[in-house]
Amino acid sequence: MSRFLVIHSDDPSLGRGSRGQTLANFLRCFAGYRNVRELASSELSRRRSETAECVFIGVPTRLKPEQLSLLRASQIILFDYTDAPDTTWGASDSSFLLSLTNRYFKTCVEPQWDPSIHWGCLPVQTSWKLTLELWKRSVREWRGGGKIPKKEVDIGLSGGSDSFQQKLGSKKVLYPQHLKWMKELACQNRWTKWGGICVDKKGLADLQDRYGNVSDIICRQSSRLTYRKLFQKMSASKVMLAPAGRSRWTRRLHEAVYARSMILSTDLSESRLLIPQPVQNLVYVEDHKPVSPFIPVAHSLFNVNPDCVLDAERELERYLRFGQYSRRRPRVWERFEEELIGVSFSQTATRRDSA
């Protein structure tokens, strides 16, 4: 019997990682390859039972009650890697799924979501492109390179035009924080800036239909922006902006920590994450507040204590190794095991992590 069984989501808009591969790889890293199995929902037989200690079911799913009733597990947990707030049922038989379990895992959990659901945190997706840049930098530093990159630009921002879905009561409201910050800073000449909204022609047309002229906030590159160039630009920025994308947490938050920059971030103070976001180089901007008043605050913090960006990176590397999950960094697995047994991250766990 396997310890873990991951049944992939049937959402066709998601890549393989978001359908369940990311979770399975994380489990294999710490629990061992033989203890983890993966199945597509179409591979789940209507006649043969599947047995595991813990079964993760990706939603939305096309699984029928007769298939789900054949699962034999001590624990069943629903999960989704979508950026939508709260549950994402799609075509799922939500009533039957909730009769099996009220456990539901997402990468970033918000306090205003459905209180009848027992929420848990998923491991976030990692990037091998980032890991390659970190390995190359470690070699340069081993040969005598500097620790804090030269900061040639005051503010950096690069991202898509996605809007954050906020849940207000029973409604889901779009909040284009990314675009609002860029429009605000486009009118400011006090700081040097790079970046903007990265969209294709179709995305640009959609933005113009919704918001009018956005030419002043579009990222224009004379050549293709490779990940190597992107990371170099982030590293050269004193402050990186990390507004909400489709969800409140985005990968840019980890990238900015590894770029050793200060971060102006969407407000994560009440959000739950499997890996706590380092706060040493972080300044939160409340929802619907202007971002420009916080830029001098971030600059001042950096000028007073530039080593805070290194402290933040060291904190993140307590959970990741060069941006990847590793058995050499068991803290993240310990926190995940607490999630499995239904224990929220307590003050005791927080004190232990800060020890």
Tens digits of per-residue pLDDT, 80-137? Answer: 999 888 899 998 999 999 999 999 999 999 998 999 999 999 999 999 999 999 999 9
In a domain, 267, yes or no: yes
pLDDT for 354 beyond 60: no
Range of the domain at 83: 2-121
pLDDT for 222 beyond 90: no
pLDDT classification of 145: cutoffs 50, 70, 90: low
CB 75 within 8 A of CB 68: no
Give the position of tokens 């294709």: 200
The 3-state DSSP class for residue 125 equals coil
pLDDT in tens, 59-81: 999 999 988 888 999 999 999 99
Least confident of 17-31, 34-48, 130-144, 227-241: 34-48
The residue among 65, 80, 87 whose CA lies nearest residue 20 is: 80
Question: Both 110 and 149 in a single domain?
Answer: no
Give the position of tokens 């199995």: 37
In a domain, 234, yes or no: yes
Can you give the pLDDT at residue 115? 93
Rounded to 5°, angle at Cα 324 from 284 and 103: 70
In a domain, 292, yes or no: yes
In a domain, 160, yes or no: yes
pLDDT for 195 beyond 90: no
In a domain, 324, yes or no: no
Q: How many CA atoms lie within 13 A of 198 on its CB side?
A: 12
Can you give the pLDDT at residue 175? 85
> Which CATH number covers residue 25?
3.40.50
In a domain, 50, yes or no: yes
Can you give the pLDDT at residue 47? 65
Q: How many domains does the chain have?
A: 2
Strand partners, 155: 193, 239
Question: Both 179 and 98 in a single domain?
Answer: no
pLDDT in tens, 239-281: 999 999 888 999 999 999 999 999 999 999 999 999 999 999 9
Question: Both 115 and 139 in a single domain?
Answer: no
Its pTM stands at 0.90
H helices present in 105-213, as ranges: 128-142, 177-186, 201-211
Question: Both 56 and 195 in a single domain?
Answer: no
User: Which token pair is 23?
Assistant: 């979770």
Question: Both 133 and 113 in a single domain?
Answer: no
Strand partners, 51: 72
Can you give the pLDDT at residue 355? 45
pLDDT for 353 beyond 70: no
In a domain, 332, yes or no: no
pLDDT classification of 346: cutoffs 50, 70, 90: very low
Give the position of tokens 């102006």: 264
Least confident of 1-10, 14-23, 173-182, 344-353: 344-353
Q: How many CA atoms lie within 13 A of 189 on its CB side?
A: 0
Question: Both 195 and 84 in a single domain?
Answer: no
pLDDT in tens, 276-317: 999 999 999 999 999 999 999 999 999 999 999 999 999 999
Question: Both 40 and 72 in a single domain?
Answer: yes
pLDDT in tens, 178-187: 888 988 988 8
Query: Which DSSP category does 121 fall into?
Result: E
Q: How far apart are CA 254 and CA 249, in angstroms?
A: 10
Question: Both 278 and 236 in a single domain?
Answer: yes
At which of 90, 121, 152 does a domain end? 121
**Buried-exposed string 249-283: b where 16+ CB fall within 10 A, e elsewhere:** bbbbbbbbbbbbbbbbbbebeebbbbbbbbbbbbb
Question: Both 117 and 149 in a single domain?
Answer: no
pLDDT for 350 beyond 80: no
Q: How many CA atoms lie within 13 A of 40 on its CB side?
A: 7
At which of 121, 140, 172 does a domain end? 121
Summarize the confidence of residues 44-71 as an average pLDDT: 89
Give percent of the chain with pLDDT exceeding 70: 92
Question: Both 201 and 109 in a single domain?
Answer: no
pLDDT in tens, 318-345: 999 999 999 999 999 999 999 998 865 4
Question: Both 113 and 20 in a single domain?
Answer: yes
The 3-state DSSP class for residue 354 equals helix
Question: Both 229 and 260 in a single domain?
Answer: yes
Least confident of 41-50, 162-171, 262-271: 162-171
In a domain, 22, yes or no: yes
